[in-house]
A and B are shown apart, each in its own frame.
Chain A
Amino acid sequence: MTLETKPKKCIQPGCSFNSTGICMDGNMEECQFLRLVELPEDESEPEVAIPESTTHIIPSGDDLQENELSTITYQFKSNLVVLIGEPECGKSTLYAALLDRFHKGPIGDFNFAGCLTPIAFEKRAHYARLKSKSKSSDNERTKSFEFSYLHLEVRHRSLLFKSQHLLFADINGEKFQRANDADDEMSTLGILRYASHIFVLANGSTLLHNSNRHALKANIISTIERALQNQLLVGKERLNLVITKWDKIDAANEIEKINSFFIQPLKERFPTLFGEILFIASRSLNPNVKWGEGLDVFLDKCLSQGNPKQVTTKVIEEHEIVREFQRFKYHD
């Protein structure tokens, strides 16, 4: 018997591999807890001494990596949401504000119903809190150049429908800047094909300043064109355009200027691509605009039926699973 044909046993606490054949980490090739079993010569059932652990691991509550998503998609159909935008356009702030807003009460018609990544949300929200001793309502920037994911479960207040699960993809905004420059980089954003909803974020504060707004507009147009060129938006009926930092636009009373400079030209350039335009103030020091304004519309959009409708991990036969969400990784 060769090593390759020998059975494996998992010694990771909490993993059901030994009974189901499914690796908890989702990657049997690299899993450090799988051990080859040395069979005795008569090939009878091996006796493996697996050390008894006294502890039981519960999930980290932090950002989920791609190979961990099946722990959610295996149980629940989920809408995958991707935000596209340059650094500091407000992606992480929007995610953080979403959970912060639920701290105060329901968002629109939806109640908070659960979260498997509370620590990931809390980290992002930290520097917007008084406790951080930050002077500005800032948020932790996403450092990773690989996508990580946040989970949120919400439920309609009527309780007439089941809970809905959302997976939010997050990545350093520089990744999109790089994708602007090269097809190679853009093709690593294959996740866009699997997103139920894509939101293109434009920093409202940047759009107010003549020195920067032209570059921002050009970069967003370039990103969309390159994504179209790489067939990443095939089948997407609508992209959602989000103007962030609405509080600053309102304070400057410049909505008309932004409409004529940015929104209308973008709609004309991509006449069938954009649906509704969202204005969001994830944070606000403007007394006329409450922080969190626009989040209800954003959440409604995230929960609406997208294309693909939902990501899921299906069990086809015993021991055979298809991770539909993860296909992009292997088929791109």
Chain B
Amino acid sequence: MGDYKRHFLLLGLPATGKTSFLAALYYYLTSNLPDRKFIEYKKSANTAYLNKIMNLWSKCEEIDRTVTQIDSSNKEVLLHLEDVDTKTRFELQVPDIAGEHFVAQFTNRLWEKEYKHEVEKASGIALFLNPSKIRNHVLLDDTQIDDDDFEEVEELEPFKIEEVPTQIMLVDILNYHYVHQNKSPIPLSLVISAWDEVESENIAPLDWLQYNLPLLYQYLISNPEKFTLRVFGVSAQGGKIKDDDLEKERLASMDEPGERFIVRDGNNINKNICAPLQWLIAQ
């Protein structure tokens, strides 16, 4: 089977779970989990980095860029994968880029030329969202606050571009990624991370998107010529590891870390953490 290269972008604002996903994915590829769709047939040149984030993930530690001592620029990750069913081999290139980089793209209106080349090469995008990190606007008209309840403030808060609602920022970022890539429509795998916090609502990921980020949802379903969309709910950690020591201990003590995965695709719930990339690869 001849090798070929697939290049995907992982987009997401800060703390949306991109690196945790990558760590969990590397575990999936290199472990002995049953029913794996892909395996790593050749060691990645980025093994040191991948092992570092995977080890943190397996211990339920937060994967922090200061911990991993990675600067905020691109961290190119190249994986050599084999489809277990078809034996097709391919290289998967996924630059792991800090979320701050995407915020800066929006606020500074500049892309590094190098990044533009990454986008031009991409044959798919995985966009990460964290339900607990969404910034919505609250209109005064939507609040029931009497004038007397307002604190006296000396000055109004000025407009800050970096504080615009998450939906606005993501639509703009997606728009310029679409403009600069060469595939139309471009496959977009939208990953709602920390799905364990949402799963109790028993809602399909696409419906969650519609109710919680209506503007982004409208944008994506109104542009089928630009994006082929699939929405996944993914928990790479399987539970809350921050501010909940008991839960963290429970997760870290599991015999098989891969049992922590929660993936929801439509109404189907499974542990196939690579589903968002598997879908992109199939497009």
Chain A interface residues (CB < 8 Å from chain B): 53-61, 100, 102-106, 111-116, 118-119, 122-123, 125-137, 140, 154-155, 159, 163, 283-285, 291
Given the complex, which residues of A lie within 8 Å of B168, measured CB to CB?
A: 118, 122
Minimum CB–CB distance for B146 against chain A, Å = 10
In angstroms, Cα B176 to Cα A285, docked, is 37
What chain A residues lie within 8 Å of B140 (beta carbons)?
128-130, 134, 136-137, 283
Which has the most chain B C-beta neighbours within 10 Å: A104, A133, A140? A133
A-B contact pairs, 28 of them (CB 8 A): A53-B113, A54-B114, A55-B112, A58-B105, A58-B176, A61-B109, A100-B137, A102-B214, A102-B215, A102-B218, A103-B214, A104-B214, A105-B214, A105-B218, A112-B218, A114-B175, A115-B172, A126-B159, A127-B156, A130-B138, A131-B157, A133-B150, A135-B147, A135-B150, A137-B140, A155-B223, A159-B221, A291-B141
C-alpha spacing A181/B90, complex, angstroms: 72
Q: Which of B113-154 contact A (CB under 8 A)?
A: 113-116, 136-143, 147, 150-151, 153
Q: Which of A56, A118, A163 contacts B171 (CB 8 A)?
A: A118
Tell me, in angstroms, the Cα distance from A154 to B218 when the chains sit together: 9
In B211-225, which residues have CB < 8 Å from any A CB? 214-215, 218-219, 221-224
Residue of A nearest to B137 (CB): A129
Tell me which residues across on chain A come within 8 A of B115, comparing CB atoms. Answer: 56
Query: Within the assembled complex, what's the spacing in Å between the Cα atoms of A134 and B164?
Result: 16
Measured between beta carbons, the chain A residues less than 8 angstroms from B142 are 291
Point out residues on B near A: beta carbons under 8 Å: 105-106, 109-116, 136-143, 147, 150-151, 153, 156-159, 161, 163-165, 167-168, 171-172, 175-176, 214-215, 218-219, 221-224
Structural contact, B143 and A115, CB atoms closer than 8 A: no
Chain B residues with CB below 8 A from A115, complex form: 171-172
| B residues near A285, Cβ cutoff 8 Å | 141
Q: Residues of A contacting B164 with CB < 8 Å?
A: 118-119, 122
Q: Are B113 and A56 in contact (CB under 8 A)?
A: yes
Taken together as a complex, chains A and B put the C-alpha atoms of A118 and B161 apart, in Å, by: 10
Which residues of chain B are near A163, meaning CB under 8 Å? Answer: 222-223
List of B residues within 8 angstroms of A116 by Cβ: 175
The reply to whether A55 and B159 form a contact with Cβ atoms under 8 Å apart is no
Residues on B with C-beta less than 8 A from A123 are 159
Please tell me if the beta carbons of B165 and A103 are within 8 angstroms of each other in the complex. Answer: yes
Do A61 and B172 form a contact, CB below 8 Å, given A125-B137, A132-B157, A291-B141? Answer: yes
> B residues within 8 A CB of A105?
214, 218
Shortest Cβ distance from B142 into A: residue: A291
Write out the residue numbers on chain B whose beta carbons fall within 8 Å of the beta carbon of A54: 112-114
User: With A and B bound together, what is the CA distance between A163 and B214 in angstroms?
Assistant: 18
Distance, CA A130 to CA B138, complexed state (A): 6
- Give the residue of B153, B165, B175, B222 whose beta carbon is less than 8 angstroms from that of A133: B153
- In angstroms, Cα B73 to Cα A54, docked, is 14
Q: Select one of A106, A111, A140 contacting B159, CB under 8 A.
A: A140
A154 CA to B215 CA, complexed, in Å: 11
Known contacts A119-B164, A133-B156, A155-B222: does B116 contact A56 (CB below 8 Å)?
yes
Closest CB of chain A to B172's CB: distance in Å?
5
Residues of B within 8 A of A106 (CB): 218
Across the interface, do B156 and A129 meet the contact criterion of CB distance under 8 Å?
no
Q: How far is the CA of A129 from the CA of B114 in the complex (A)?
A: 37
* B105 to chain A: closest residue by CB: A58
Given the complex, which residues of B lie within 8 Å of A118, measured CB to CB? 164, 168, 171-172
